[in-house]
Structure 1
Amino acid sequence: MNEAIDEREGFAAFLLRLRGRGIVPKDMIAAFEATPRRGFLSNLHHDVAWSDRMLPIECGEAIEGADLQAGVIAALAIEPGNRVLEIGTGSGYTAAVMAKLAGRVVTLDRYKTLVEQARQRFEALGISNALPRQADGSNGLPGEGPFDRIVVWSAFDSLPRTFVDQLSSGGIMIAPIGPEEGEQVLARLTKIGSRFEREDIGTVRLQPIGRGVAKVI
């Protein structure tokens, strides 16, 4: 019983923080509420599931804080029927949330362990339109676009121009851009013609984009 109360209180505090920042898309908030965040975390971190802290997951990776995830998903402005490409599956949580808003989510990770865990979580929740795949996402999925939305949870050192061709006209990509060490700028890139129109929407500290796939894990 206490755990259920803690969960509700944590979610309520999360909502208050979002409203304080002006992030209130009703469909997105409903998608977060309908996706059991604790199921994507180890038992050790259930009490801080809705905090804005980055929390460790398997393979030496981390899940972003709930506030950052919500800010990015809100900025993506996902519409029903959209095809979404996510680079950095991690625990699978953001793909599960986006699957409730989009038509289809293809989510890539370098680590087979994370991909398999995400697949099991999606199956347990009856999510059939989120498709996890082990792949090198540093150049996206060139043969499978265009996508309406692309989100990347690790940083590029410069504007990722190669992704322009993978977005549909008017499509939106969100990615951190900046140095490996220190803060990066979170950029919202909208495809206009054959180029990106860039709007900077915040700062983050995320890992640089990894190349290749992990051989063992």
Structure 2
Amino acid sequence: MATKLQEREGFAALVMQLRSSGVTNLDLLAAVEATPRSLFTPSHLTPYAYSGRSLPIECGAFMESADLAIRLLDLLRLKPGQRVLEVGTGSGYTAAIIGRIVERVLSVERYRTLTENARQRMSELGLRSVVLRQADGREGLSGEGTFDRIFYTVALPEIPRARVEQLVSNGVIMAPLLREGAPPLMVRMTRIGSRFERQDLFEVPYLAAERGVSKSL
């Protein structure tokens, strides 16, 4: 893990970059500051924890760049009291930040190694609002009621209708959609009564969701 000075410098540089792109949510920035990114970064890559590049982690997965992660969380419009479903735990970094803002986060991941590593990090940070499960995340998670926010960090052919219907009124789902010959497109859908408003955001580097859970990793 990086030193406190390195963390402060990395965070300061990140905040400047985020503000230039219009991210000014103080609750979100406070949650980012309280969540040392180097804790979630492989030890040999900690100098790049706050860089603008994606970082490889276990199981062939990766951490999106710090600025992209926070920009996406800003677009989720997180608020205290919300229940959030995250599909694709990865390192656990985004789940940890979300967990500092909302009431409860349920984050699912197909790889056991990633799930266990993220669980250990939540324990180190004392984050009890984050619940981690190894599960097939392509269709989300049934039997958990409704959510205020649903956030996919794995790319899908389309947003599953069943997940959209798990949203409360004014709830938001964000997911990368696969496109032929182009990177996935992050899409945000807002439930307004019985209808849904769709907003196409921007290209993101997420990998396609895989079927089932991994038994070996």
Q: Shorter-chain TM-score: what band?
A: over 0.9
Alignment partner of 1:74: what SS?
A: helix
Return the letter of the residue paired with 1:25: N
Alignment partner of 1:183: what SS?
A: strand
Give a deviation string over 1:80-108, Cα, whole Å, max 9, x none: 11000000000111111000000000000
Q: Distance in 2 between matches of 1:7 and 1:208?
A: 31
Which shifted more, 156-165 or 126-135?
A: 156-165
Task: Tell me, yes or no, if structure 1 residue 172 matches structure 2 residue 177.
Answer: no
Superposed, 1:54-69 pairs within 5 Å as 54-69=54-69
Q: Distance in 1 between matches of 2:25 and 2:127?
A: 21
Return the letter of the residue paired with 1:82: Q
Q: How many residues align?
A: 216
Alignment partner of 2:84: what SS?
A: strand
Distance change in 2, residues 1:146/1:20 (3 Å): same
Task: Please say if residues 149 and 167 of structure 1, whose CA atoms lie closer than 8 Å, have aligned partners that are also in contact.
Answer: yes
Give ranges in structure 2 of 5+ residues lacking alignment: none
Give ranges in structure 1 of 5+ residues lacking alignment: none
Give a deviation string over 1:177-201, Cα, whole Å, max 9, x none: 1226531211111012233211122
* Alignment RMSD: 1.4
Q: Distance in 1 between matches of 2:163 and 2:60?
A: 27
Which residue is 1:105 aligned to? 105
Q: Distance in 2 between matches of 1:214 and 1:181?
A: 28
Q: Distance in 1 between matches of 2:154 and 2:134?
A: 16
Task: Please say if residues 7 and 36 of structure 2, whose CA atoms lie closer than 8 Å, have aligned partners that are also in contact.
Answer: no
Q: Distance in 2 between matches of 1:44 and 1:64?
A: 17
Return the letter of the residue paired with 1:198: R
Normalised by the size of structure 2, how large is the TM-score?
A: 0.95
Which residue is 2:160 aligned to? 160
Superposed, 1:129-140 pairs within 5 Å as 129-140=129-140
Post-superposition shift, 1:135? 0.3
Identity of matched residues, %: 47
